[in-house]
Amino acid sequence: MASPAALREGVRSFLAGRRMMLIAGKWMPAASGATTHIRNPATGEVIASVPESHAPDIDLAVTAARRAFDEDVWGRLGPSQRGKVLWKIADLIDANADELAELESLNNGMPFRDAKGFGIPRASDTFRYYAGWATKIHGRTSELGGGGQPSMLGYTLREPVGVVGMIVPWNAPLMIAAWKLAPALAAGCTCILKPAEETPLTALRLGEFALEAGVPPGVVNIVTGFGHTAGAAIAAHPGIDKVAFTGSSEVGRLIVAAAATNLKKVSLELGGKSPVVVFDDADLEKATIGAARAIFNNAGQVCTAGSRLYVQKKSYDKVVAGVAEVAKRLKVGDGMDPSTEMGPLISDKQLQRVIGYIRSGVEEGAEVVTGGHIIGDRGYFVAPTVLAKTTGDMAVVREEIFGPVLATMPFTEPSEIPALANSTRYGLAASVWTRDVVKAHSLARQLRAGSVGINLHSMAHSVMPFGGYKESGWGRENGPDGLEAYLETKSVLVAL
């Protein structure tokens, strides 16, 4: 395992410093002076402390964001300059990619190579993508009247929704913060970002980049604290025009209820219980590796994780055995170890949740093919787990576990799949593995999911809309749809 001495100097300095919140362009503690410890999930050890904000701190952040929006300090820069600022943030992310990947790995537990190879580049790519959109926000014109009606010119304006509260989760902290901040800033909004209480470090570093890139004071505010205090205050605050939330469906319902106090707009990216469907005619070697990656990536702490595996009966034993073999070979350990392929869960609470689901599955009749146990007595590690003999009425098949636990089930005919795959309250992602293009595209239309992969499992991309059906959320992030979430449309009619 890596020791603190192995960290880059910039990371050691960042962790050693007094971490504060960004409000109105200044770094400040919580009004109460309270702080909360941040831990490394690979060891359970405290690596930093951050302010524990409450309602008074959220009031300050909202006041700063509201003033910046009402005084148009961001809008006055003009679309081209806003785009340049976003591009500069992307450059700063790339220039500090190694340090950011270390912070992400220390704070979240994901392997350093995954953070460096995927999470950090996706964040910078998102800022660059929306930097280009800043100059391409247009309305439309219409000639109205005639037939005895008065002549009019009609046109629409696309305007920023206003002050946005953003609440992001702990599983991909920097990337998901970028998914929200970049389009909101391109649209001209001002923002209050609250990272998860477990993983605030890269968000605070992102705040430093925003200031360095030229974001005016009050346009980006970053507050740290717990969901039931700081997050709840954001959701209910009357000075906020929109809340963008990524997290569990249970908390999403609470967000909606709190936002109803002033009918603020809400976008939600919530849970998933995504099916992976493998047909006999698939490239079984690729499908096996793909199914394993779909569930064991980031220790299964991914909203799109392929946690339900349906394999056509003739190939079922071979594919399940293959996924189990991949699971057995995975190097589980500290994310800072270059050889680690799967890191820890985020917390002891999450560890106990995952182990609890495995036990309930066994009690209901599931068979553990591999894994199913805690690894070691330090940190929050669970072995990658494959379950057989699972059925649709088991909790391990119905409920989101958010851990490296795969429920496997055989099927006989392709016609069975739409009902099986859609038999969930979620609808975030799915994948289909087959060489038959007609079958693949036909099934993609029938699956009730926001993203469908054909011979790959869902991979979010800045260009492609991302979001869910059913209880997996409201709205979309990424792509042009992600920008729309932060814009209002105004109609203007002119008598001629």
Supply φ then ψ for residue 373, to 5 degrees: -140, 160
Cα 197 to Cα 38: distance, rounded to the nearest angstrom = 8
Cα 217 to Cα 219: distance, rounded to the nearest angstrom = 6
Assign 3-state DSSP to the chain and report helix, strand, coil percentages, each to 5.
Answer: 45, 20, 35
Active site residues: 269, 303
In contact, 124 and 93? CB cutoff 8 Å: yes
Provide the token pair at 242.
């929109």
- Residue 472: left (phi > 0), alpha (psi -120 to 50), or beta? alpha
Q: Which residue has the tokens 């974001």?
A: 215
| Helix spans in 425-492 (H) | 437-446, 479-484
Radius of gyration of the chain (CA): 23
Residues facing 279 on adjacent strands: none
Nearest 5°: CA angle at 37, between 36 and 41? 140
Other C-beta atoms lying within 10 Å of the C-beta of residue 60: 20
Which stretch of DSSP H or E encloses residue 58? helix 55-70
Other C-beta atoms lying within 10 Å of the C-beta of residue 493: 10
C-alpha distances (whole Å) from 200 to each of 2, 32, 37, 133, 485 are 21, 19, 11, 28, 24
